[in-house]
Structure 1
Amino acid sequence: MKYLIVANWKMNPASLDEAKRIFNSVSSGLRKVSAKGRSRFSGKNAEVVICPPFIYLQAATEGGGGFAIGSQTCFSKDEGAFTGEISAKMLKNFGCEYVIIGHSERRVILKETDHIINKKIKGALKSGLKPILCIDKLSQVKKGIEGLSQGQSQKIILAFEPISAIGTGEPYDISDAKKMNNLFKKNFPKNILLYGGSVGSKNAKDYIEAGFNGLLVGGASLNPKEFIQIVNNLNI
């Protein structure tokens, strides 16, 4: 199985021009580590997804390719009178393949509850998107998959993101990460499990060696050189 590397740009960058620059730089960098002529980067050990802000999704589709496109959230309903929301169905029709759901910043700052997150997961699965459920404890997984069949729940990609490592620049202890990996794998052995939290080129491989199936990369994904180095470190 290939490692999945997901770039979460959060609410960055500030301009469309900068977003295009990053897309193009990442695309160019991926081509250098991929087989010549492929439309999608497919290294020996890694696959890449970029999740930019909504307003840059169009630019992502025009950014030279080489990566899958995802969204940072979605709404649970397909359409209707829900001002400001964007549905999973709309994202799928636009070309998104993945969607991040339940990121800790949305749980804490925007007060997203487990119930809301569960509905978003159901909407994403219904629309054919691959949900990436962010969690830091087992109970959040169990609440996130409530009401789903076993087959549906196994389609969810889990992303363990310890709160202490989100946006702090303080990486989570590798030995503790390994323990959490084992705990999640014991309870949800069929799900892909990513690690997220202050990931950079210097520690990316450590988390993979701890047993994770990939990475959810935040701030480092906005630096094309650093992000490509993370990919290179796993593509060996």
Structure 2
Amino acid sequence: MGLQQGFTKYCCFLCLWDSRATDEHYKKCDWPKRTYEVGKTNLQHSPLVDPNKVFLPPLHIKLGLMKTFIKTMGKTNLAGFLHLVGKFPKLSEAKLKEGVFVGPQIRQVFRDPDFEKTLSELEMSAWNSFKWVCENFLGNKKSSNYREGVETLLNAYEKMGCRMSLKLHFLHPHLEFFPENLGAVSDEQGERFHQDIQEMETRYQGFWNEGMMSDYCWRLFRDNPNKIYKRKSYSQHF
């Protein structure tokens, strides 16, 4: 959407939500509408697409909610964090602390009763609300009382002490922006990207390398069934 990178003050493409005004995040719902004037309010370039035609992919919202929950839980709940370390031994400690999970891993935690035993009362309330929203709003099924469920999630996250991320913000003042049928929005490509990047990070042994993304793009290009590659013979070089 042409927003500047990094920890921007106004990172929502719909409104001028102040990401640094932490005292107002769960209390203020009506933020000024964004105007797309280049050079102001963190806007570097004109939008490439009409903002009203942008979809909020449910998978990214789910990953963001999981990340916020785990980061907050990990500050005080050592038992819960150590349980996840044992459950996902291939994930680095840094990624676990940041709550970086993919869809299948989140579903594994959903089905794990031992993880829930490590949670406090406030954490359990937030965890149940998160599971409910995933099953009744961010999936193929949309309950008639989804607004009450989302409100319960926001209240539980606030009591738990979760910082409001951009993904949480979308659920707060922009709930009407989500399409009526979230199940019609395919997350297949997004799911594949996160799983492929996780495999790519394993190849790089968990260390960030600037060539990682280009390596991933080349892999997609190479695996394209419409492309035909022919190995040059030795004589072609002379």
TM-score between both structures, scaled by the size of structure 2: 0.28
Q: Which structure would you say has the larger Rg?
A: 2
Please identify which structure carries the higher strand content. Answer: 1
TM-score between both structures, scaled by the size of structure 1: 0.29
Please identify which structure carries the higher helix content. Answer: 2
